[in-house]
Structure formats: structure tokens, C-alpha cells
Amino acid sequence: MPDIREVYRVKIFFEDDPSRFKIRPILIIDVDSDSELFTITEITSSKPKIPPTYHDRFKEPIINWRRAGLNEPSYVKTHKIYRIEQDKLLEFVGEVPGPDFDRILDRIVEVNS
């Protein structure tokens, strides 16, 4: 069963056009074994711009992105939190190392409090 810290690819549907989607990596940040729902956050390879845009301030880097199975430097979108069912997880990518995960989770809590 998938677990926290794991990275998978899923379909992320566009907010402005739910008929369109992009397959992107996500990070599992919580697992509810009773309901079999996974709390996830999006991952992007788009680095923050200088000066940062509104959304850039929510990007938290995955320092050990290679160890997480990602192909390029990547960032967690700490403000994009979803709950999905297991059958929505398409492909296992890797696992975010503990220190990276702890820092990212702290940032998610900070951003969403």
C-alpha cells in the first residue's frame, strides 16, 4: 500500500477547465487507512521566478530530488493539497528522504494554517 513520503504520478485536472488534465508527480503527505484516502500535494519542476509571483512563494524545494526519483530539480506546491483514492495513483516514482519530507511538511503546515 502506498505510504507517506512516496512520489507517484497522477492526473491533475485544471481548475479552470476540468475536462483537461496534466499528469504530474505528487507527494503523499498523509494516509487515512480507514477511508483509504491519500492526502497529496503537487510537485512541479518550474522553479520560482525572480521576482517571485504569487504562487512562487508556496514552492518548497525537494533538495534530494534525484533520490526521490525525479528527473530534474523539483518543488512541492505547498498550497495545493488534495485527497484522492488509491486507484488514482498511476505510477510509483520514488520516495522523498526523511529530512526533505519533514521540512516540506513543516512548510505545508505553515502555509495552510
Give which of 74, 66, 70, 75 is closest to 93, Cα–Cα.
Answer: 70
> How large is the C-alpha radius of gyration of the chain?
13
For the segment 57-101, what is each residue's pLDDT rounded down to a tens digit?
999 999 999 999 999 999 999 999 999 999 999 999 999 999 999
Tell me the C-alpha to C-alpha distance, in Å, between residue 30 and each of 4, 17, 45, 73, 99: 6, 27, 22, 23, 16
Which domains are assigned to the chain?
A: 6-111 (2.30.30.110)
Rounded to two decimals, the pTM is: 0.94
In the numeric block, the cell 477547465 is attached to 17
Q: What is the pLDDT of residues 4-29, one digit of tens each?
A: 999 999 999 988 998 999 999 999 99
User: Which alpha helices (H) appear in the chain, and where do they start and end?
Assistant: 98-111
Residue recorded with cell 518543488: 75
The C-alpha cell at 29 is: 503527505
